[in-house]
Amino acid sequence: MLVDDRNRLGEGWPSLAGRGRRHAAEALAVATGERGTGVEALPKTLPGVVCQQWVRCGRPNCRCARGQLHGPYAYHFARRGGCLCKRYVRPAEVDGVRAACEARQRQRRDLAEWQDCCEQLAAQLREAQAP
């Protein structure tokens, strides 16, 4: 399941209409209270991936209604409790979030290699101890 309220801007967000030419993503960030906190400290590793997407803001008179979508914007996708969560990533944070995702993937690969090593070692020990 994809959890993303921001793809449903057209419905129930009347305050966004008529704000002129404000950048769609900025408007999203304001509406969801993501601004004003500054750039948060990013964790060193993150599960998931960063992907670029083109978006529709939902304003009926906007160019995106005629197929000229906004973007591309970066989003972080990650599984959380069986759901695929999606979060807008500000341009300033894209590199950091992407690096954290890659670090997590490296970590998981390293861990898998270690587990393989341990299993091989354990198998060799069992063999050596066998009567």
Least Cβ distance, residue 57 to Zn ion (angstroms): 3
CA distance 69 to 84: 23
**Considering only CA atoms, which of 72, 95, 61 is closest in space to residue 25?**
72
Give me the residues paired with residue 87 across strands: 76
CA distance 104 to 44: 8
Stretch that binds Zn ion, among 12-20, 34-42, 51-59, 84-92 (CB under 5 A): 51-59
Stretch that binds Zn ion, among 29-37, 59-67, 89-97, 114-122 (CB under 5 A): 59-67
How many residues bind to Zn ion according to rule CB under 5 A?
A: 3
Question: CB-wise, 25 or 57, nearer to Zn ion?
Answer: 57
Does position 62 bind Zn ion by CB under 5 A? yes
Burial class, 21, CB count within 10 angstroms (exposed 0-12 / middle 13-18 / buried 19+): exposed
> Binding mask 12-31 vs Zn ion (x if CB under 5 A, - otherwise)?
--------------------
